[in-house]
């Protein structure tokens, strides 16, 4: 059985105005592998993540999940297997911590349960376990997320990603809005929970030093092209900040 | 250092001067048409009256003659018991009494054919707070009209808002159609639409409820739709990526964001409908307005004062309650 979980094959994305965001991108993501994508703003990192999620259509190429090609109409095959963590957390700010977390399971809940806000007990129990796992057990989980710090909000974001038991987490600059220490803690948490639950991670980052300790593999991107794709161990000695010059 | 030869833009140029002159010209022309000089004349006259230079002014004469008749407010009712059907003196209404009053009656003497007056004792049923009670009952009817109109507006506006929001309408035709309905409902003032509603539903509260309800559905539909369009896209993207359908995203990612504004809009519409419910009564929409119009037409200004005071007190109390409710709901909803 192949170890490849997600295969991105010759993907091109051109935005209106002939802006080339992704140019013939090829990436293989293996099971239980943590990958960091580095690159300056506009290098195509976010577009790549949005394309995998089906939030942006691709102009050329294919994306395979467990060897199944998915296009515009059959994203459902990946919905239950892919979770996302966002730079701006993308939480429902006026809803509670636990509500935001169980929303990670929204596609699996029946319409009438959603209408009357009656969530299955097992989902709620699972959410409570995950709250502990992401280190939010000291906070009242009925508190609104708008009253939490940035780091705490991102922990809620991680918990929301974990509740659906995904095979892969896509993280779009998850620590850009956080201070260095909180950023380090959050990346450690993502790595720890991913390894524990056998989840692959594709994470775009700007902090090259964090990427070296966080990822198993590092991909460098610039202007929609992949410049390098190497195991983290092999590029520890290189100054990756040159990517940003 | 790089020399900067660019000049700062002047605060105005010849275009500004032409525009200002044009606006002044239009204002002068329009002022003549709508009688602004008349307002200025009368205000000038009344200011001379106030400082004592002139003895009378048309404004003060007009207002003082009405003011004299408006005070004191009438709160009692007095009815000749001979005019009350099946009057039973042993079973008087609560807190009322019978008063014996001498009344001057005028009659033509058929022998002399001259008008003669005579005094006669007449028994009156006096209810000291009878008129106040009637006004309060009518005000309650106006409040009921406002509540029902707001409820109908809410029911109509929910689907309209969904289809009028660009990012949720299923296609452009439905979006355009829905937006047109929302604009159309808003475009017809209640005072006009109530005239048609009176034809359809007859005089009374039903016509008022429909006229107010349809007009405010236009407002709510527009407000709701614009808030849906402007809601933070982040949580919606997150739920979309998780495979949520549109209505699920709307319920879980949009509604919690917009709910405080929605509560504020509904309370505003309720507040507005309460004030408008008194006005539409003037043209047959039921409630206190109908009573107000009747008393005004009979020059019973004491009664008019009572009605205006009661409306003022009710609107003031409702204002306080809605402000507290708004704070409570917006502060704690999740």
What's the complex ipTM? Answer: 0.84
What pLDDT does A1 receive? 53
Q: Answer whether B235 sits within 8 Å of A107, measured CB to CB.
A: no
Interface of A with B in 137-176 (CB under 8 A): 144, 160, 164
Q: A92 contacts in B (CB within 8 Å)?
A: 235, 252-253, 256-257
Residue B40 lies in a domain: no
Residue B88 lies in a domain: yes
H-type helices in chain A, by residue range?
45-53, 76-79, 97-102, 111-115, 121-133, 150-163, 180-196, 208-214
Burial of B313 (0-12, 13-18, 19+ CB in 10 A): exposed
Regarding whether B298 and B245 lie in a shared domain, the answer is yes
What pLDDT does A228 receive? 92
Burial of B71 (0-12, 13-18, 19+ CB in 10 A): exposed
In this predicted model, what pLDDT tens digit does every residue of A147-198 receive, in sequence order?
Answer: 999 999 999 999 999 998 899 999 999 998 889 898 999 999 999 999 999 9
What pLDDT does A73 receive? 57
Residue B54 lies in a domain: no
What pLDDT does B122 receive? 87
Q: CB-based contact (8 Å) between A107 and chain B?
A: yes
Where is pLDDT greater, at A106 or B150? B150
Domain boundary among B99, B128, B157: B128
Alpha-carbon distance B177 to nearest alpha carbon in chain A (angstroms):
27
What CATH number does the domain containing B259 carry?
Answer: 1.10.3720.10
Q: B260 contacts in A (CB within 8 Å)?
A: 94
Regarding whether B243 and B186 lie in a shared domain, the answer is yes
Range of the domain at B240: 131-332
Alpha-carbon distance B227 to nearest alpha carbon in chain A (angstroms):
15
- B311 vs B308: CA distance, rounded Å: 5
Regarding whether B284 and B323 lie in a shared domain, the answer is yes
Model confidence at A242: pLDDT above 50: yes
Regarding whether B87 and B115 lie in a shared domain, the answer is yes
- B256 vs B333: CA distance, rounded Å: 8
Percent of chain A whose predicted confidence (pLDDT) is above 70? 98
What pLDDT does A217 receive? 94
Regarding whether B137 and B124 lie in a shared domain, the answer is no
Q: Answer whether A103 sits within 8 Å of B237, measured CB to CB.
A: no
Regarding whether B322 and B230 lie in a shared domain, the answer is yes
Mean per-residue pLDDT for A52-73? 82
Domain boundary among B128, B151, B167: B128
What pLDDT does B333 receive? 44
Q: Answer whether A92 sits within 8 Å of B242, measured CB to CB.
A: no
Distance of CA B296 to the CA centre of its chain: 18
- B268 vs B276: CA distance, rounded Å: 12
Low-confidence ranges of chain B (pLDDT < 70): 1-5, 330-334
Residue B288 lies in a domain: yes
User: In 10 A of CB A156, how many CB atoms?
Assistant: 26
Residue B176 lies in a domain: yes
Regarding whether B212 and B167 lie in a shared domain, the answer is yes
> In angstroms, what CA-CA distances link B69 with A82, B56, B65, B126, B312?
78, 19, 7, 22, 19
Q: A91 contacts in B (CB within 8 Å)?
A: 234-235, 238
Regarding whether B161 and B97 lie in a shared domain, the answer is no
Q: CB-based contact (8 Å) between A19 and chain B?
A: no
What pLDDT does B334 receive? 42
- B125 vs B31: CA distance, rounded Å: 55
Regarding whether B292 and B145 lie in a shared domain, the answer is yes
Domain boundary among B128, B160, B187: B128
What pLDDT does A144 receive? 93
Residue B171 lies in a domain: yes
Counting the structural domains of chain B, the total is 2
Regarding whether B194 and B315 lie in a shared domain, the answer is yes
Residue B165 lies in a domain: yes
Q: Answer whether A103 sits within 8 Å of B252, measured CB to CB.
A: yes
Regarding whether B311 and B208 lie in a shared domain, the answer is yes
Alpha-carbon distance A52 to nearest alpha carbon in chain B (angstroms):
10
Regarding whether B89 and B174 lie in a shared domain, the answer is no
- Residue B243 has its nearest CB partner, among A92, A99, A107, at A107
Residue B275 lies in a domain: yes
Q: CB-based contact (8 Å) between A74 and chain B?
A: no
């Amino acid at each position: 059985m192949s170890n490849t979980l997600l295969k991105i094959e010759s993907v091109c994305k051109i935005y209106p105005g002939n802006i080339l965001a992704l140019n013939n991108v090829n990436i293989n993501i293996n099971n239980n592998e943590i990958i960091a994508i580095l690159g300056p703003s506009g290098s195509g990192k976010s577009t790549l993540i949005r394309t995998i999620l089906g939030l942006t259509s691709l102009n050329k190429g294919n994306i395979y999940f467990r060897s199944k090609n998915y296009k515009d109409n059959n994203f459902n095959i990946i919905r239950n297997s892919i979770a996302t963590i966002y730079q701006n957390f993308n939480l429902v700010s006026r809803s509670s911590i636990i509500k935001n977390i169980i929303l990670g399971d929204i596609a699996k809940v029946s319409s009438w349960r959603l209408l009357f806000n009656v969530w299955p007990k097992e989902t709620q129990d699972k959410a409570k376990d995950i709250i502990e796992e992401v280190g939010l057990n000291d906070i009242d989980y009925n508190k609104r997320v708008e009253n939490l710090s940035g780091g705490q909000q991102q922990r809620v974001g991680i918990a929301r990603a974990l509740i659906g038991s995904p095979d892969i987490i896509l993280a779009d600059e998850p620590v850009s809005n956080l201070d260095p220490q909180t950023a380090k803690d959050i990346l450690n948490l993502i790595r720890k929970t991913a390894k524990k639950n056998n989840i692959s991670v594709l994470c775009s980052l700007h902090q090259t030093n964090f990427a070296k300790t966080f990822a198993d593999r590092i991909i460098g991107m610039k202007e929609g092209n992949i410049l390098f794709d190497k195991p983290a161990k092999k590029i520890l000695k290189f100054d990756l900040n040159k990517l940003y010059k | 250092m790089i020399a900067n030869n660019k000049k700062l833009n002047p605060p105005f140029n010849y275009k500004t001067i032409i525009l200002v002159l044009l606006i002044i010209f239009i204002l002068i022309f329009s002022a003549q048409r709508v009688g602004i000089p008349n307002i200025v004349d009368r205000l000038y006259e009344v200011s001379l009256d106030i400082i004592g230079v002139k003895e009378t002014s048309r404004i003060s004469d007009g207002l003082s003659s009405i003011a004299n008749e408006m005070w004191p407010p009438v709160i009692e009712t007095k009815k000749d018991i001979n005019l009350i059907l099946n009057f039973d003196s042993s079973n008087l209404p609560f807190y009322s009494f019978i008063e014996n009053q001498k009344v001057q009656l005028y009659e033509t003497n058929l022998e002399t054919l001259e008008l003669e007056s005579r005094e006669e004792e007449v028994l009156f049923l006096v209810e000291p707070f009878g008129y106040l009670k009637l006004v309060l009952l009518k005000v309650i009817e106006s409040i009921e009209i406002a509540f029902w109109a707001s409820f109908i507006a809410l029911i109509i506006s929910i689907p309209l808002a969904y289809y009028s929001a660009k990012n949720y309408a299923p296609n452009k035709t439905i979006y355009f159609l829905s937006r047109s309905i929302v604009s159309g409902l808003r475009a017809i003032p209640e005072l006009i639409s109530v005239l048609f509603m009176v034809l359809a539903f007859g005089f009374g509260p039903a016509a008022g409820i429909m006229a107010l309800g349809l007009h405010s559905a236009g407002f709510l539909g527009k407000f709701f739709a614009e808030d849906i369009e402007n809601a933070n896209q982040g949580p919606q993207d997150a739920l979309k990526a998780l495979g949520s359908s549109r209505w699920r995203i709307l319920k879980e990612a949009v509604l919690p964001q917009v709910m405080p504004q929605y509560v504020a809009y509904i309370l505003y519409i309720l507040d507005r409908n309460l004030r408008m419910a008194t006005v539409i009564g003037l043209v047959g929409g039921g409630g206190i307005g109908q009573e107000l119009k009747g008393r005004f037409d009979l020059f019973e200004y004491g009664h008019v004062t009572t009605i205006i005071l009661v409306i003022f007190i009710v609107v003031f109390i409702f204002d306080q309650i809605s402000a507290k409710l708004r704070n409570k709901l917006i502060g704690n909803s999740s």
